[in-house]
Amino acid sequence: MLAVEAGHPSRLEIVAHKAQEWVALADAPTTEPRQDEQLLDGTYLVSTGGARELHGETKVTRGPGLDVQGREQEELAGMFGDELRGGDPMATYMRGRKLRLGDVVTLGDAEKKSLDAGLVPSTVTLAVVVADAARVTYQMDIQVVQDDTTVHSRGTLVFDRKSGARVEQRTQTRKHEVNKYGDNDTFEAATLIWKR
C-alpha cells in the first residue's frame, strides 16, 4: 500500500509472481489442446485514475510510469478497483455480518442489491467455513441462471481477527452457456494474498 485516502487505499503496488490465463480449445477444460499465456508479470502500480480510464477510473502503470492497457489493466482494475474507490463492499459486508462457524445464510434482495450481487435473479449464500483465534474465513456462493446461461461464483475471504484486515481472497467462477453453436464453459480462478 503506497497511499491512503479517506481511510482506504488509493495507490497499491502489486507484485505478480505467477498469473497465467489459459483457454481450453477442446471440449473440456482438463483436456488438450489449450492456449496458455502469461497474464500478469512483475510489479504494477494501481491507483485511481482519470475519467477516461476503464473500470471506474482505475489506472495501472509499470516501470517509469508507463500506462498498462488491455487484459493486464482489466484484470488488475477488476481485482483492486472497488477497494481503491472507497472500499470493497463485499469485504465490508462480510466483516460486519455476525455469523458463527457453520452458519449459512441466504441473502435477501436488499442485501444482494447493496453488494451488486443481485442485478439479475440469483441465489447468494454466505457462510463461515473456518474460524480460530487468529483468523476467520467467509465463503460466499453466487448462483445465477438466466436464459441459457448459468454462472456459479465462489469467493472466499480470510480476515485477521485482531485487526479486521483481509489477508487472503480466493475466487472461482464457472460460466456455462448453451446456444445454437453448442456448449461454452468458461472457468476463472484467482488467489490474492495481502502482505502488510
Reported as a single tens digit per residue, the pLDDT across 149-161 is 888 989 898 988 8
- Residue-wise pLDDT for 79-108, tens only, equals 777 667 666 667 777 777 788 898 999 988
All 3 cell numbers of residue 49?
485514475
The confidence score (pLDDT) of residue 122 equals: 81
Dump pLDDT digits (tens) for 23-54: 766 666 566 777 777 788 888 888 876 544 44
In angstroms, rounded to a whole number, what is the distance separating the alpha carbons of residues 164 and 88? 13
SS3 163: coil
Instruction: For residue 13, list its beta bridge partners.
Output: 45
Q: Is 70 helix (H, G, I), strand (E, B) or coil?
A: helix
Confidence (pTM): 0.64
Residue for grid cell 489459459: 22
